[in-house]
Amino acid sequence: MSDQDQSNEQPEQTAAAEAANPQEHSGLAGEKKTALAMFGLLLLIYVLMVADRFLISMLAVDIRGSLGLTVRDSITLATMFTLGLGISGIPAGQLIQKYSRRSVVLAGLILLSSSTLLFTQAVGFKSMFAFIVVQGVGMGFLATSLFSLSTSYFHKSRAAALGIVNLSFGLGSIFGHWIPGVLRDHYYETYQDLAWHMPMYIFGAIGVGLVVAVFIFIKPWFSEVQAPKKVIQDSGGADSWNNFNTKLLILMSALYGMVIYGYLGSYPSFLRTVAGLSASQVGAAVLWFGIGGLTSYYGGKLGDKFTTKSVLFVSSLILAVVTLFLYNENHSEFIYKLLATGVGIFGAAIVYTNLAGGHVKSLKRSMTGKGSGLFVTSVYGGAAIAGLCMGTLIENYGWAAAGQVQISGLCVVIAVLALFIRESEFSK
């Protein structure tokens, strides 16, 4: 029988099966709609919680004044949630195996929301540091559970499911850069120097409401589903992380973490204190980083069409050029938006995506989970010290020099390191 005959026969067989079991078919269709609704709720939660994590960086100037912090302290705090993210990945995976994804989602939401509310009770650097790290742990629990769930329930469309999750991150980044400044400016006339508390209260309260929503609406038959096991044929790639490509990519990813989180942690403060923009104007400018990051799907397609080496080399050099102009106080708002978009496209969408792909390709196909884990750990390992390094450079050499050294300079280093990637040793 030809392929055409088989393809014509399949719809007839499906229709016959549906006619023979209409109630079963209706039940499956209803279950799918319910699953999509629950997945939609989890994506909404992810969008809002991603936005939550940008509160500290967007309100850093107000927090610094309220708590009597230095520039270095405030920029360090703006990136410290990455420390919590970095240390939570492995424990989150173990908790999912021992308990359930739903339980880990609830734990992550509780940690994240409670720490957001506690930000308003901080009395200095140490207490705020502790609350921010806890927030990062909560975010790590939530993200790990969501990635695990999306690739298990939608196992036939894993790339699409992960693409939607990454799109949700981009939306959260947009809202996280925009909403805090708007809320702060709205409440400033009433609360003055404590106006930065209101976004914390609002996001914290929303988080508490989402805990209740997960408890009521997310059902275990959806959250605890397991993907069917498949036999994966390995071809190429290393059988452990102890290989040249993986070690090189760990270094490159850590440097990228210092670049992108050095930017995210410091740029809102620069725009407020040096460029003289209001909190809402800063949000309107920096949210374009998230818009640029929405092109990550096409960034991944570049890595499929061209070699990882060439994509990372070219995009890192372009990112270095774009970031050279970031810390200039004489730009118009339009130029700040344009630069933020450029960082989002060439940093978040292209470099980030292809570093992640490189980690996966450097190991055997059966070890993709370990490759992804190494990527996350190395990026957030670099990010954890990005704020401290950037703040120290700013205090000693000024904003422009700090940006040129840590952001533009490290982009050039990443580009040079990309030339040493051994494409022939990647998995097929």
Residue 377: predicted pLDDT: 79
Residue 305: predicted pLDDT: 85
What is the CATH architecture assignment of 31-226?
Up-down Bundle (1.20)
Helix (H, G, I), strand (E, B) or coil at 153: helix
Residue 394: predicted pLDDT: 96
Residue 213: predicted pLDDT: 92
Tokens read off for 154: 């939608």
Q: Is the pLDDT of residue 105 over 80?
A: yes
Residue 10: predicted pLDDT: 43
Tokens read off for 86: 């970095």
Confidence class of residue 294 from pLDDT cuts 50, 70 and 90? confident
Residue 225: predicted pLDDT: 56
Q: Is the pLDDT of residue 260 over 50?
A: yes
Confidence class of residue 423 from pLDDT cuts 50, 70 and 90? confident
Q: Give mean pLDDT, residues 134-157.
A: 73
Residue limits of CATH 1.20.1250.20 in the chain? 31-226, 235-428
DSSP 228: P
Task: Tell me which of 156 and 303 has the higher pLDDT.
Answer: 303
For 400-428, give the DSSP string.
Answer: HHHIIIIIIIHHHHHHHHHTT--GGGS--
Confidence class of residue 141 from pLDDT cuts 50, 70 and 90? confident
Burial class (CB in 10 A: 0-12, 13-18, 19+), 4: exposed
- CA–CA separation, 356 vs 378, rounded Å? 10
Residue 233: predicted pLDDT: 57
Contact 227, 152 (CB under 8 A): yes
Among 383, 347, 365, 396, smallest CA distance to 136 is for 383
Query: For the chain, how many helices (H) and strands (E)?
Result: 20, 0
Q: Is the pLDDT of residue 42 over 80?
A: yes
Contact 129, 118 (CB under 8 A): no
Topology of the domain comprising 235-428: Growth Hormone; Chain: A; (1.20.1250)
Q: Is the pLDDT of residue 15 over 50?
A: no
Helix (H, G, I), strand (E, B) or coil at 238: strand
Contact 326, 267 (CB under 8 A): yes
Helix (H, G, I), strand (E, B) or coil at 2: coil
The listed range with the strongest mean pLDDT (146-155, 216-225, 226-235) is 216-225
Q: What is the pLDDT of residues 44-101, one digit of tens each?
A: 988 998 899 899 999 999 999 999 999 999 999 988 888 888 787 667 767 777 777 7
Amino acid at 95: L
